[in-house]
């Protein structure tokens, strides 16, 4: 998410001044309920599971939109300024958030990266062996931002969201607490399911023919990985040497499944599959969902259950 800070901040100022001049109420929901804004889908779904219809929640991304190329609109900025709680992730992808928050008055925020112990990014060179977990010496202070991809991390984020909602809306605190606890139990059951898949598998390595956002997932379940890109920034370039190395690795290790991210074009994964005879499966990072998935309420746990089924095949 990149932004031309001055332009957007000036636009925000103009829109806020206009809204004040015409005497508009600062209420996104229209019914007096809490107004929650999230940047991406995972926290949006967490809020829905915890609060149900007790709050009005809006995700800035449109369903199907790629999160790494997102720029907020003037309406987005106004909704952030006027909401009761703004939930964002932090990290490189949310650099624009710091810029706009500095221009706003007392926006109540929850930064997901503050909810858990963050991991360093793995900045590998594109070498002949691709990218593998658990082998990197950290040489900088840049953290991996995809904290929600571990279900255990998700429990910590859910706890923080629940606590924030209880403070903001004491009248419904009992509902939020009960729902938060019930959802947390489901996340722990999900964790047990994935642990069972891994413990029964013959392998411990996944191959990702796409941008890689699953560092916390692989760390949580003791997995190594090969990946076509060192991270998931939209401006990462395809390195032909890395793709050739991955093709060679897939052939040598007789890997049958190449993973790709949701909403991506899958071209790299498909290219590797054509050269090796492997099949391509989608593995959700939970940044966002398609319009069809959004409309049918396809949530974080649904995505992770899908991932568990794919993982069972990919590790055997």
As a whole number of angstroms, the distance between CA 261 and CA 307 comes to: 11
As a whole number of angstroms, the distance between CA 284 and CA 263 comes to: 9
Distance between start and end Cα atoms, the chain: 37
Q: How is domain 201-314 classified at the CATH fold level?
A: Rossmann fold (3.40.50)
Report pLDDT for 234: 56
As a whole number of angstroms, the distance between CA 242 and CA 246 comes to: 6
The pLDDT of residue 316 is above 50: yes
The pLDDT of residue 251 is above 70: yes
Report pLDDT for 162: 99
Asked if 284 and 307 count as a contact pair (C-beta separation under 8 A), the reply is yes
For residue 224, list its beta bridge partners: 205
Which CA distances in Å does 193 have to 30, 58, 200, 305, 307? 41, 30, 11, 8, 11
Q: Which of 81, 216, 235, 238 is nearest to 227 (CA)?
A: 238
pLDDT digits (tens, 9 = 90+) for 31-52: 678 999 999 999 999 999 999 9
As a whole number of angstroms, the distance between CA 160 and CA 111 comes to: 10
Count of positions (residues) in the chain: 316
By percentage, how much of the chain surpasses pLDDT 90? 67
Q: What is the pTM of this model?
A: 0.86
* Token reading at 239: 């390195």
């Amino acid at each position: 998410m990149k932004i031309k800070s001055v332009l957007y901040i000036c636009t925000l100022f103009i829109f806020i001044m206009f809204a004040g001049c015409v005497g508009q109420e600062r209420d996104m929901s229209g019914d007096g309920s809490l107004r929650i804004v999230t940047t991406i889908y995972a926290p949006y779904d967490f809020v829905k599971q915890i609060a149900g219809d007790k709050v009005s929640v809006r995700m800035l991304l449109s369903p199907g939109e790629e999160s790494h190329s997102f720029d907020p609109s003037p309406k987005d900025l106004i909704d952030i300024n006027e909401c009761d709680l703004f939930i964002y992730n932090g990290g490189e992808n949310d650099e624009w958030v710091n810029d706009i928050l500095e221009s706003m008055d007392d926006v109540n925020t929850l930064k997901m990266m503050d909810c858990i112990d963050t991991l360093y990014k793995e900045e590998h060179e594109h070498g002949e062996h691709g990218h593998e977990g658990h082998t990197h010496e950290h040489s900088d202070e840049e953290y991996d931002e995809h904290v929600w991809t571990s279900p255990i991390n998700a429990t910590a984020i859910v706890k923080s969201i629940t606590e924030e909602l209880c403070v903001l809306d004491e009248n419904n605190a009992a509902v939020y607490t009960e729902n938060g606890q019930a959802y947390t139990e489901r996340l722990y059951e999900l964790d047990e399911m994935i642990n069972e898949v891994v413990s029964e598998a013959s392998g411990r390595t996944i191959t990702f023919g796409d941008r890689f956002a699953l560092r916390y997932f692989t760390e949580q379940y003791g997995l190594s990985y090969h990946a076509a890109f060192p991270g998931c920034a939209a401006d990462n370039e395809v390195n032909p040497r890395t793709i050739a190395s991955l093709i060679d690795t897939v052939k040598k290790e007789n890997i049958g499944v190449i993973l790709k991210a949701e909403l991506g074009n899958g071209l790299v994964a498909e290219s590797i599959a054509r050269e090796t005879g492997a099949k391509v499966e989608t593995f959700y990072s939970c940044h966002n969902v398609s319009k069809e998935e959004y409309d049918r309420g396809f949530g974080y746990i649904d995505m992770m259950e899908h991932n568990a089924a794919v993982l069972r095949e990919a590790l055997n």
